[in-house]
Amino acid sequence: MQRRHYARRQFGWALAAAFMLGALPFLTILIVDPYDTRPWGLAPVLADYNYPDNERAKLRRAFVAKRPDLILLGGSTVMAVTPQMLIQAFPNRTVPANLSYRRATPVDLLDTLNEFLPIGSVRQIIISLDYTGMRSDETLLEDATAADRLLHSGLLHMPDYELAAVLGSWNRVLTGRYDPPSWANSRISSVDGRVPMSRNPSEIRKLDAAVRAYSAAAATIGPPVRCGDYPLVHRYYRTMLRRAVAKGVQVDVVFPPNPAATYYVMMERRANSSTRFAPGAVLPQIMAFRRCVLEEAVQAGPLVSVHAPDMDPAFSYDLSLYRDPIHLFPPIGHDRLLWSVATGRSKVTLGGFALYEATILERVRRVKMAGRGANSQGEKP
């Protein structure tokens, strides 16, 4: 009888221990609150490196606690930019934050901006504006969808209950920062390059094939495009620029560069693109979109500058600056991009836009006319 009673008591203790062990991860998440989604929790403390791709959009509220003076907004093109790169390019800024993530759209970029403007520490915003902004719908994509679900969840709803978040929260308690040890090998972003495109025969073949396939169409002038064809420019970018200016914040809008041959690749991928390109050549549509953004920037006032780094011929022809047809190769490509913004060498105005557009169109045509694929150069970088 005593043995049975002892066994039951032991079972009860084991059950209680199992329950506590099972509840501990939940309690850790609730106490630490790593994404700052609840009114309680430890103050967010982040590491000084770029977090893994799927964490970036979710951590934007936690970055508010760092009170950054410079923030970088954008998509995958600038995800590999590190805080150290930003400090080197902009030495008058001391607390930079790269809040870029995959396939960011104007809708969620405005949400991110709205998190930071009220805190009063931001002095400069760099917005990398790729052709995703040409979309006409307001659908959130991939990482932004997961972040929106997490950041707008109920107090006790647990969309943040994941193993990495639990481990990171434990590390926050033990070491003082949200930094799961398992991320030590995943700090390299998926858009970081292992080798530049110039040393990647597979990427070179893809470029050559696209140039051959679309040599007659990539740089042709298509039907006229109106700014009204890009409703998100007025609905979101206009709001972003004017809210930042109203706070006295300097804004640098950057059109991320691509090799001249990339515009042939865009023709090939147009059917599978999340951007709704109209029929005809892609490049003139992108240029029309950029001009519309430039017009909004001018209307916003002198605190807003627009930069077109691809005015530098190296960005049109030097494939060692790129990982693939869309993404720059870190750090050399990103350092050159940031340098062009910091020095103002890439600044474009309404008065100079026609020359800029004609220059890029001619470079694309030279790739086509050279007849030797993507490696041919109409002018030396």
Only one residue has tokens 């994509």, namely 141
Q: What is the dihedral of CA 12, 14, 20, 22, to 10 degrees?
A: -120
Most confident listed range (27-41, 121-135, 136-150, 307-321)? 307-321
Q: Which of 238-242, 361-365, 376-380 has the lowest mean pLDDT?
A: 376-380
Place of tokens 């709803």: 157
- Pair of tokens at residue 158: 């647990």
| Greater model confidence, 44 or 147 | 44
The Cα 353–Cα 177 span in angstroms is: 46
The top-level CATH class assigned to 46-154+192-370 is: alpha beta
The residue ranking higher by pLDDT, 145 or 247, is: 247
Maximum mean pLDDT: which of 51-65, 200-214, 292-306: 292-306
Report residue 233 as tokens: 């420019």
Per-position DSSP letters for 229-246, written without gaps between them: G-HHIIIIIHHHHHHHHH
Structure-block tokens of residue 73 = 């907004």
Helix or strand (DSSP H, E) at 253: strand 250-254
**For range 111-134, the mean pLDDT:** 90
pLDDT, tens digit (0-9, with 9 covering 90-100), for 221-252: 666 778 888 888 888 999 999 999 999 999 99
Domain extent listing, the chain: 46-154+192-370
Backbone angles phi, psi at 251, to 5 degrees: -125, 130
Q: What number of other Cβ atoms are within 10 A of residue 268's Cβ?
A: 17
DSSP letters for 160-214: T--HHHHHHHHHHHHHSSB--GGGGG--S-TTS-SS-GGG-HHHHHHHHHHHHHT
Report d(CA 108, CA 186) in Å as an integer.
25
With 80 as the cut, is the pLDDT of residue 272 above it? no
What DSSP designation does 119 have?
Answer: G
| pLDDT at 360 (0 to 100) | 94
Contacts of 231 (CB under 8 A, 6+ apart): 136
Please write the tens of the pLDDT for every residue from 309-328: 999 999 999 999 999 998 99
Could you tell me if 79 and 189 are in contact, meaning their C-beta atoms sit under 8 angstroms apart? yes
Exposure string for 101-113, b = 16+ CB within 10 A, e = fewer: bbbbbbbbbbbbb
- Residue among 317, 323, 333, 202 at smallest CA distance from 256: 333
Helix/strand number for the chain, H first, E second: 15, 5
* pLDDT score for 15: 43
3-state SS, 20-89, equals HHHHHHHHHHHHHCCCCCCCCCCCCCECCCCCCHHHHHHHHHHHHCCCCCEEEECCHHHCCCCHHHHHHH
CA distances from 23 to 15, 28, 47, 163 (A): 12, 9, 27, 13
Judged by phi (left if over 0) then psi (alpha if -120 to 50, else beta), residue 159 lies in: alpha
- Residue 311 zone, left/alpha/beta (φ > 0; ψ -120 to 50; rest): alpha
More confident residue, 13 or 318: 318
Phi, psi of 331 (to 5 degrees): -90, -10
- Bridge partners (DSSP) of residue 73 are 127
Rounded to whole angstroms, the Cα distance separating 105 from 111 reads 10
Q: What is the DSSP letter of 320?
A: G
Collapsing DSSP states into helix, strand and coil, what is residue 307?
Answer: strand
Q: pLDDT class for 56, splitting at 50, 70, 90?
A: confident
Could you give the count of Cα atoms lying within 13 Å of 169 in the half-sphere of its Cβ?
Answer: 22
